[in-house]
Amino acid sequence: MKIKILRSQTNAHQEYSLPDQESTLLGALEHIKSSIDATLTFSAGCRSSVCGTCAVRVNGRSELSCSYKIKDGDIIEPLQYHSVLRDLKVDKHHAKETLRRSQAWLHESREASLSPQDEKRTETQTDCILCDSCYSACPVLAVNPDFLGPFALTRAYRYSTDKRENDVKEIIDHIQTNGVWDCTLCGECTAACPKGIDPKMDITMLRGTSVQHGYEDPSFSQISFGTPDFGGGGFGFDPNAGF
């Protein structure tokens, strides 16, 4: 079995031959590093889909290395919209900054009576492992690097619906600029999430809450119907974008 991995030093895909047996991509990467090529660089942690360290792109799609089973001819590349530090290892700082900018936390805690229904409301959202798969899949980031992106907005939603939050407006105030209204609701994030989270729906819900707090869709308020300029990068899914 052969797979190709994008190497940063040469900016070319390097082919590796692997034993013909079932293996996770992470198993394959470990095998390459320990016995074929010690310079291949990637990040990994728990092997069980929960630490969020090992997301990459396989044939253009975000995948966790530890849960993806490799196939002959697979092409492995780093996440998009992250600066590549080396090979498959990316800098996650810019993406993580969105959590700080969106202030996705409990602002003012109050005592509440929570039920199983309350738990269910954000059970899936709180399964987020911050693997950045959704961020890599989001086409808005191709044109607006300051967009808060899917995982930060999902997290903002999760706190905004928490009965223990006494200051929902504070959350809503921080997701207006480069936030909920900049999303195109294309659903790429939802398709990319390894945990089955639906950021598109969460963003839609946050728009509703924003309206309740007196905000409105700026594209309507400015009566601007012009189409945004996507710089020729294409709005659809382009596996080579970012390179």
Partner 1 sequence: MVDILVIGSGGAGLSAALAAKQMGASVVVAGKSYPTNSQTSMAQGGINAALGNVNEDHIASHIADTVKSGRGLSDEQMVRRMCGDAPHTIAWLDSIGVPFSRLDNDGVGTQSIAQRQMGGASAKRACYAQDYTGLKILHTLYDTCLKKDIDFLDEHYLLNLITKDGTIKGATFLEMRTGEIKQIDAKSVIIATGGYGSIYHGFTTNAYGATGDGIAAALRAGGSISDMEFIQFHPTALKHSSILISESARGEGGYLLNSDGERFIDELKPRDEVARAIFTQMQNGKEVFLDVRHLGVAKLMELLPQEVELCKLHEHVDPACELIPIKPVAHYTMGGIDVDDALEVNGIKGCFAVGECSNAKVHGANRLGGNSLLEITAFGKFAGENAAKHAIYASSKPADNTQLEKDKRYIQEIYTKKSTLNFYTHREEMGRRFYEDVGIIRNNVSLHRMLDEVIAMQTALSKMGIEDKSPTNNTNLTDFLEFTSALLLAPAIISSAIARDESRGAHYKEGFETQDDETFKKHIVIEWNKEATV
Q: 3 by DSSP, 3-state: which?
A: strand
128 binds partner 1 (CB under 8 A): yes
Site for partner 1 in 76-95 (CB under 8 A): 85-86, 89, 91-93
Q: Give the amino acid at 4.
A: K
CB of 194 to partner 1, least distance (A): 10
Q: What are phi and psi of 10, to 5 degrees?
A: -100, -10
- CA 224 to CA 137: how far, in whole Å? 27
Residue 39 or 224: which CB sits closer to partner 1? 39
CB of 176 to partner 1, least distance (A): 19
CB of 239 to partner 1, least distance (A): 23
End-to-end C-alpha distance for the chain, whole angstroms = 27
CB of 158 to partner 1, least distance (A): 8
Alpha helices by DSSP H, listed for the chain, are 25-35, 93-101, 116-121, 133-137, 140-143, 149-160, 168-173, 188-192, 199-212, 218-221
Which residues in this chain contact partner 1 in the complex, by CB under 8 A? 33-35, 38-39, 41-53, 67, 85-86, 89, 91-93, 96, 99-100, 103-107, 109, 111-116, 118-119, 122-123, 126-130, 155, 158-159, 162, 164-165
